[in-house]
Amino acid sequence: MEKRTLPGSGKPGWLNASLLYKVFGGVLFAYLFLGFMVAPCLNTLLSVFREKNPTTGAIEPFRVISYFFSGNMPSFILSSVILAVALVITVNVVGISIVLLTEYFDIKGAKILRLGYMTTLIYSGMALVTGYLFLYGRDGILTQWLRGLFPQFNEKWFGGFYAVLFTMTFACTSNHALFLRNAIRNIDYNTVEAARNLGAHPFRVLMKVVMPTLLPTLFSLTVMTFITGLCAMSAPKLIGYNSINPKIVELAGTTKGEIDFPQAQAALMSIILALFTIILLTILNHYERKGHYLSVSKTKAKLVKQKIQNPVGNVLAHVYAYLLFVIYMLPVVIIILFSFQNYGAVNAKKPSVEAVTTINYYGSEDVEVPREGRKPKIKENAVTGVFTNPKTGDAIRLSFILAASAAALACVIVVAAVNYIFKQKNKKRAVIVEACLLFPWLLPTILICYSYRIFFNNNIWYVFGQNLYTGENVRLLLIIAYTVVKLPFALRMIKASFYAIDEELEDAARNLGASGFRTLLRIKLPIILPSVLAVFALNFNSLFTEYDMGATFFNPNANTYAKVIESMSTPELQNDYNAAGRQCASTVFIMIVSGLILYLVYGVGARDLGERLERRAKRRQRLMRLTGKAKKPSAKAAA
Amino acid sequence: MPFMIRLDDIIVKFGEFEALHKISVEVNEGEFFTFLGPSGCGKTTTLRTITGFIDPVAGTVNMQGRDITHVPIEKRNIGIVFQSYALFPTMTVYDNIAFGLKIKKMKKPEIAQKVQAIAKKVDLTDEQLKKAVSQLSGGQQQRVAIARALVTEPAIICMDEPLSNLDAKLRVQLRNELKKMQREFGITTIYVTHDQEEALTLSDRIAVFNKGYIEQIGTPNEVYNHSRTEFVANFIGDINRLGEEIVEKMGLPAEKHHFIRLERVRVNRPGDEGALQLPGVIESREYYGLYIKYYIQAAGQAVKVIEKNDGINIYEVGDTVTVGIHPMDIMSYEAQE
């Protein structure tokens, strides 16, 4: 039982029983932080300054830097910055549009529109990019269709900067859909009414009253979008655009000889990326500390949707809303449709009722391969579904285990740490623990992964002399990397939920005799559980189809789901039959898994005990009505 | 009467700030004892020292002859009802009440029997026991909090402003229930409030706190009618401070501060023997329903008076009246400034 000892109470604290726990906890924390965050990244940083002059053999600290800036490397950085700046503009335009159209303006069918706009929540990254390519790429349905109409149409039209910008614009509005929506729903409608009452025109109300309250959220979203743009990986790599991250991965996998000190250049590039991130996050942090425009009203009125008075404006708004809806929904609909089409239909990109099949999900089929001048060859089981294709199945299993382990590990570490932080409130050690957990936030994922790949590809003494990069060890390394990059997000979310715990609850539990551990387990954890589950689910969702880290590790023992999906989009290289069909089914599978998890977390998990009991009672009543009152169902059956 | 709990020279510090300066107080067995004072006066800190949430820098907490100053919270056998009730939101009402018993590793049937018994005493139905705490009203939640605190059979129950979350009407209703329950259980109760009306109606004795000191300990009548300090006189109930002119006319020592309660100032009672009679004019009035408060301009100051709203002594603004002040009703204190 740890007692809250006040300063000045003068009791010697160094001899009590919890000393062992404290020392053990402290040592473990230091081991994890220094060993898995500081050491690998420091190694990367130092590697930049360790290159030798080939003739003299002396170390030239600035050799890499001067070489780097004299070559074409800065152009990659410039491209990334251009992409990031453009993304900030387009994502904000589309993001603000979708939120205003569904939450602020009175647009017919807003509920359906919202569902469409939120589809990026259930598929993102590699799944989304391959989906867009399935539609717009060289063999894409839309491209083929346009070629049918205009034979001169350039089938490589969807490539380079604008294609990446287009894809990422729609891929990156998920945060707007979540956070900006919350912000706008929190607006006190009385302020809108007051402005109207004082004579402000609706547009003026929007610009002068509504938008300023959204600014803090928009600012955070802008910074996050900028970082996303800088760190873009799957879209530039697949669609084709020279940006930082794909180049780092390429350099990391390059042997010397082809290019001068590729690893050191990759390290330097990831450090430059880190500097960008640090500057941006410092600005964001500084801004957030200045405080928000919090609503001052005690009684908030619910926002009433604004009808657009101008008939032309109203029509245009509706057209715009449904155009966006089509852009969001088209890939989803096409992917779902083709996931139920057979090999022939998918290859010809011509869906038909006769071609409906579930083979892309389950089962296998032989394929007749035509050979010039010879009898066609039958390839047995060449067409396989997501769950029957051994490579895909293995990758799903691997990614599932890795993502679930890392998401769970991050939650456990953060819950324990936040519990400690709150107990030691206002003390230096709490600040240190928090800063350590937020540390990975400053570093781009690619830097952490690159550092892991290089650093742990040696026998490291503090991991029992093992090389974590070789063999199946790499899976453990991937779990650690996944966990590390998810810690800051988990910390921010779970810490916020701890504030919701009334301090008196803890006192009450202690007064009734509960130990610190029991209080955490029985009182605090149940209260924050919805948030912990949400963090777990969101982290799991993003890790399950995670591409950047899997690609950086580039190890056959870490062939993750996203990498397998990537390989499906270039089937000609893999000689993989039915890759396109399986890719569609894969994306549908990801949508179902993510959708289900989001529903469980936000739909079911967010209900409090009162709501759950009420629902149970209602279900019981319904069941009793159905079965007749004589048969009284047990509580368990009803539940 | 044997004492249940006694604090001797308790000092509590928060960093450099000394929150309690040598607090000493004794609570008797079965007594309803109230810590009264404005916010930040140290009443809750004293309560938390008793329950063990705070370690005093100096002084002792003694319970029935046993020093419990450094006894862990859960070994003190002191129950507590919090201002927010601190009911566990993820548990049902039943589980909330049973929590302390489960920690004591009691057998299930015994827990069930004890929970049922206490629920009956605080008027909670079986149906309510199955509910989530969020499904109960404020008053019902308070009963759960009390049941949870009482079920482990503590020697003392501490209540930290348990009525402050409720609306005015419910406060009065629950105040009466609280007193009734305390009488039935016969349990020693320490009650913290800033509401003087609550303190006066509920308590056997009251300790009035100010800036980390206890200004006075006494029965409601003692602290109200014989306030020991100027602070107590001012904090409890409304009061008139007598101006120079009245002080002089009554021949009171000028170096002291003199006060009189509103209900002790008599209007238009010429026959009142020994009282100073002053001519006055009704300046304004506040209507309270049960009574009316008048501001009367007399002897160069506004004298506040209340009159029962009985339809007899009703005055209009501008009416001329006589104000009677009896020397017996005057409370005098050494000037502090």
Backbone angles phi, psi at A411, to 5 degrees: -65, -45
- At A380 the pLDDT is 81
Average pLDDT over residues A103-116: 93
Tell me, yes or no, if A507 comes closer than 8 A to chain B by beta carbon: yes
- At A34 the pLDDT is 93
How far is the C-alpha of B140 from the C-alpha of A398, rounded, in Å?
52
Q: How far is B211 from chain A (nearest CA, A)?
A: 19
How far is the C-alpha of A508 from the C-alpha of A504, rounded, in Å?
6
Amino acid found at B134: S
Reply yes or no on domain A394-606 having CATH 1.10.3720.10.
yes
Interface with A, mutate which of B17, B88, B96 (most A CBs under 10 A): B88
pLDDT band for position B198 (cuts 50, 70, 90): very high
**Which chain B residues are closer than 8 Å to A526 by Cβ?**
88, 90-91
What is the ipTM score, two decimals? 0.76
- At A59 the pLDDT is 83
The pLDDT tens digits of the residues spanning B63-91 come to: 999 999 998 888 889 999 988 888 888 88
Q: Is A152 helix (H, G, I), strand (E, B) or coil?
A: coil
Q: Is B205 helix (H, G, I), strand (E, B) or coil?
A: strand
Q: Which two tokens stand for residue A508?
A: 């009450």
Taking 50 as the threshold, does the pLDDT of residue B143 lie above it? yes
Q: Of A5, A6, A508, which has the smallest distance from its Cβ to B14's Cβ?
A: A6
Q: B88–A509: do the CB atoms touch at under 8 Å? A: yes
Q: A507–B82: do the CB atoms touch at under 8 Å? A: yes
Tell me, yes or no, if A198 comes closer than 8 A to chain B by beta carbon: no
Tell me, yes or no, if A604 comes closer than 8 A to chain B by beta carbon: no
Taking 50 as the threshold, does the pLDDT of residue A75 lie above it? yes
Average pLDDT over residues A487-503: 86
Residues 6+ apart with CB under 8 A from A570: none
Interface with A, mutate which of B11, B74, B130 (most A CBs under 10 A): B74
- Local structure of residue A57 (DSSP, 8 states): -
- At A9 the pLDDT is 40
Taking 90 as the threshold, does the pLDDT of residue B232 lie above it? yes
Average pLDDT over residues A390-414: 93
How far is the C-alpha of B85 from the C-alpha of A291, rounded, in Å?
31
**Which chain A residues are closer than 8 Å to B52 by Cβ?**
3
The answer to whether A574 touches A635, Cβ cutoff 8 Å, is no
**Minimum Cα–Cα distance from A500: chain B residue:** B89
Q: B54–A510: do the CB atoms touch at under 8 Å? A: no
Which segments of A231-310 does DSSP mark as H helices, in order? Answer: 234-235, 244-252, 262-289
Same fold yes or no, A84-243+305-339 and A394-606: yes
Q: Which domains does chain B have, with CATH numbers?
A: 3-235 (3.40.50.300), 239-334 (2.40.50.140)
Q: Which two tokens stand for residue A75?
A: 């152009």
How far is the C-alpha of A582 from the C-alpha of A241, rounded, in Å?
26
How far is the C-alpha of A146 from the C-alpha of A160, rounded, in Å?
19
- Residue ranges of domains in chain A: 23-63, 84-243+305-339, 394-606
How high does pLDDT run on average in chain A?
85
Average pLDDT over residues B232-252: 93
Q: Bigger pLDDT: A404 or A253? A: A404
Interface with B, mutate which of A16, A423, A506, A512 (most B CBs under 10 A): A512
- Local structure of residue A306 (DSSP, 8 states): B
Q: Which CATH architecture has domain A84-243+305-339?
A: Orthogonal Bundle (1.10)
Task: Give how far Cα A373 sits from Cα of A367, A382, B219, Å.
Answer: 18, 22, 115
Q: Of A6, A511, A529, which has the smallest distance from its Cβ to B51's Cβ?
A: A511
Average pLDDT over residues A522-528: 89
* DSSP letter for each residue of B223-280: HHHS-SSHHHHHHSS-EEEP-HHHHHHHT--TTEEEEEEGGGSEES-TT-TT-EEEEE
The pLDDT tens digits of the residues spanning A312-333 come to: 999 999 999 999 999 999 999 9
Q: B103–A513: do the CB atoms touch at under 8 Å? A: yes
| Strand A364-371 versus strand A374-384 pairing type | antiparallel
Q: Which two tokens stand for residue A331?
A: 């890939």
Q: Is A36 left (phi over 0), alpha (psi -120 to 50) or beta?
A: alpha
Average pLDDT over residues B184-200: 92
The pLDDT tens digits of the residues spanning B270-293 come to: 777 888 999 999 999 999 999 999
pLDDT band for position A7 (cuts 50, 70, 90): very low
**Which chain A residues are closer than 8 Å to B53 by Cβ?**
4, 507, 510-511
**Minimum Cα–Cα distance from A529: chain B residue:** B90
- At B337 the pLDDT is 57
**Which chain A residues are closer than 8 Å to B15 by Cβ?**
7-8
**Minimum Cα–Cα distance from B15: chain A residue:** A7
Report field, pTM of the whole predicted structure over 0.90: no
Q: Which of A317, A277, A325 lies closest to A170, judged by CA?
A: A325
Name which of A281-295, B185-199, B304-318 the model is least confident about. A281-295
Question: In Å, how far from its chain's centre is CA A424?
Answer: 31
Q: Which two tokens stand for residue A556?
A: 């056959």
Q: How far is A424 from chain B (nearest CA, A)?
A: 15
Average pLDDT over residues A283-288: 78
Count helices and strands in chain A by DSSP H and E runs = 31, 2
Q: B90–A526: do the CB atoms touch at under 8 Å? A: yes
Taking 80 as the threshold, does the pLDDT of residue A440 lie above it? yes
**Which chain A residues are closer than 8 Å to B57 by Cβ?**
6, 8-10
The answer to whether A154 touches A311, Cβ cutoff 8 Å, is no
CA count, 13 A, side-chain hemisphere, A170: 26
How far is the C-alpha of A579 from the C-alpha of A585, rounded, in Å?
10
Tell me, yes or no, if A504 comes closer than 8 A to chain B by beta carbon: yes
Q: Which of B38, B36, B74 lies closest to B53, judged by CA?
A: B74
